[in-house]
């Protein structure tokens, strides 16, 4: 959530930076409501001051000899009553304006950072680097991951559709074992890098979804349990970030690093017809998420480290990938700066997103009221939050099934996973 004070004091700058995102955002209604709110607050403050003055004046007058039942005291008491009634009339007006402002501000995305490249859409994203060209398979005729997985009997779609609906899959035997091996390997790697593992709830309340920016904008892309006001998480970012909602953290405890494996659930609204087969775009998928709470002075340096943590998984698996910096027009709703990691899928001859690493600065912390306090200093500040996939498990499996596909149709298991699997070939 953007700072209303920043919007009020720098409206032209805010409007210009929002415009780089491509969509049209109008902050004028917010400014008008805020001005009305400030005017009401000023009037109420004046009335409260007069009410306090009257409350103090009455006993003074009586002490000085005025008749407690006389006209002078009666007039003052009548005025005090009138002031209280007027103040009570202001409260619902102010509440309504606060709610209107809150609704409008929650709909505004984060401001792109000054270092984020300006662009209209994903075609104007910037390639930062590539890694692993030497690991790109040279054998011809590599078939898509979903075909080879069904062929060797480790994935079944028809039975998953029978149980649920389209865009669900069932992993069987070595497929389930490979998924579990990837999860364990990713968690072990990130724990060794300094992340503290958590197992959070995968059902969260509306307040949690709002704090991290999923609501109200992405309600249609989320699964909700209406009777309980609970939502299936679209990513572990939501519950892990909200573990600290409404808290004040000691500055000495920063940075805080967490990693979490969870199932994730997304409707994928608006993507009908895209990647209908395979493990790329599912309603339910597994992911290891990395979440950071850091001091504002270090958040952009922490973003670079976060990207490195995600890259470490791909490098250990020897999967070719590239790092893309998103332009302003392709930036996620809550992010100020984002790097995507895209893994090579040889069957299509394309790089596909496998991780998105973002710095939210104080956007989520302001929505969720997550602060920190430095010893010896007055007041508190909002922490900066970051998160990234480390990695999306299904997409990683797809990349393994294609990049490690052998001419005879078997799959060589990456060396770092062989200990988990107890075998070398699928």
Active-site annotation, residues = 266, 281, 353, 356, 395
Q: What is the 3-state secondary structure (H, E, C) of 362-423?
A: CHHHHHHCCEEECCCCCCCEECEEEEEEEEEHHHHHHHHHHHCECCCCCEECCHHHHHHHCC
Contact 328, 116 (CB under 8 A): yes
Q: 244: which DSSP letter?
A: T
Query: By C-alpha distance, which of 249, 38, 17 is closest to 113?
Result: 17
Contact 14, 2 (CB under 8 A): yes
Instruction: Report the C-alpha gap between 341 and 155 in whole angstroms.
Output: 25
Strand residues in 61-169 grouped as ranges (E): 126-131, 155-156
Question: Following CA atoms 313, 316, 319, 320 in sequence, which dihedral angle do they give, to the nearest 10 degrees?
Answer: 90
| Per-residue CA distances from 9 to 35, 102, 108, 207 (Å) | 12, 17, 17, 28
What secondary structure does DSSP assign to 17-68, as a single string? HHHTTSS----HHHHHHHHHHHHHHHHHHHHHHHHHHHHHHHHHHHHTT--T
Query: By C-alpha distance, which of 26, 31, 23 is closest to 4?
Result: 31
Helix (H) or strand (E) holding 161: helix 158-163
Instruction: Report the C-alpha gap between 82 and 422 in whole angstroms.
Output: 82
Looking from the CA of 379 toward its CB, the CA atoms found within 13 Å total: 2
CA angle, residues 355, 323, 13, in degrees to nearest 5:
90
Only one residue has tokens 């395979």, namely 278
């Amino acid at each position: 959530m953007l700072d209303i004070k920043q919007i009020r004091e720098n409206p032209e700058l805010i409007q210009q930076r929002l415009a780089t995102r491509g969509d049209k955002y109008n902050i004028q209604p917010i400014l008008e409501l805020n001005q009305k709110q400030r005017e009401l607050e000023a009037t109420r403050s004046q009335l409260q001051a007069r009410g306090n003055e009257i409350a103090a004046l009455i006993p003074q007058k009586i002490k000085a000899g005025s008749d407690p039942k006389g006209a002078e005291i009666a007039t003052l008491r009548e005025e005090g009553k009138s002031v209280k009634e007027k103040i009570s009339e202001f409260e619902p007006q102010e509440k309504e304006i606060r709610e209107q402002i809150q609704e409008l501000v929650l709909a505004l995305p984060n401001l792109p950072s000054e270092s984020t490249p300006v662009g209209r859409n994903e075609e104007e994203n910037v390639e930062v680097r590539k890694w692993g060209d030497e690991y790109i398979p040279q054998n011809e005729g590599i078939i898509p991951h979903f075909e080879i997985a069904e062929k060797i009997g480790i994935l079944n779609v028809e039975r998953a559709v029978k149980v649920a609906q389209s865009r669900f899959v069932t992993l069987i035997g070595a497929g389930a074992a490979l998924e579990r091996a990837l999860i364990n390997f990713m968690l072990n790697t990130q724990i060794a890098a300094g992340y503290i593992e958590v197992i959070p709830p995968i059902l969260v309340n509306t307040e949690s979804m709002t704090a991290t920016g999923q609501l109200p904008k992405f309600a249609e892309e989320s699964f909700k349990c209406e009777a309980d006001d609970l939502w299936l998480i679209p990513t572990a970012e939501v519950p892990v970030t909200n573990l600290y909602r409404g808290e004040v953290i000691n500055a000495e405890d920063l940075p805080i690093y967490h990693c979490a494996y969870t199932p994730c659930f997304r409707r994928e609204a608006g993507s009908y017809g895209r990647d209908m087969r395979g493990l790329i775009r599912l309603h339910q998928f597994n992911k290891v998420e990395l979440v950071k709470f850091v001091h504002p002075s270090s958040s952009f340096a922490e973003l670079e480290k976060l990207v490195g943590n995600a890259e470490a998984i791909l490098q250990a698996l020897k999967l070719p990938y590239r790092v893309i910096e998103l332009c302003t027009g392709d930036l996620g709703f809550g992010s100020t700066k984002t790097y995507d990691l895209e893994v090579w899928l040889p069957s299509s001859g394309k790089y596909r997103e496998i991780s998105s690493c973002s710095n939210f600065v104080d956007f989520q912390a302001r929505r969720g009221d997550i602060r920190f306090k430095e010893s010896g200093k007055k007041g508190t500040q909002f922490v900066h939050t970051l998160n990234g996939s480390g990695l999306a498990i299904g997409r990683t499996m797809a990349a393994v099934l294609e990049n490690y596909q052998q001419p005879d149709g078997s799959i060589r298991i990456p060396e770092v996973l062989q200990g988990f699997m107890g075998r070398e070939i699928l």
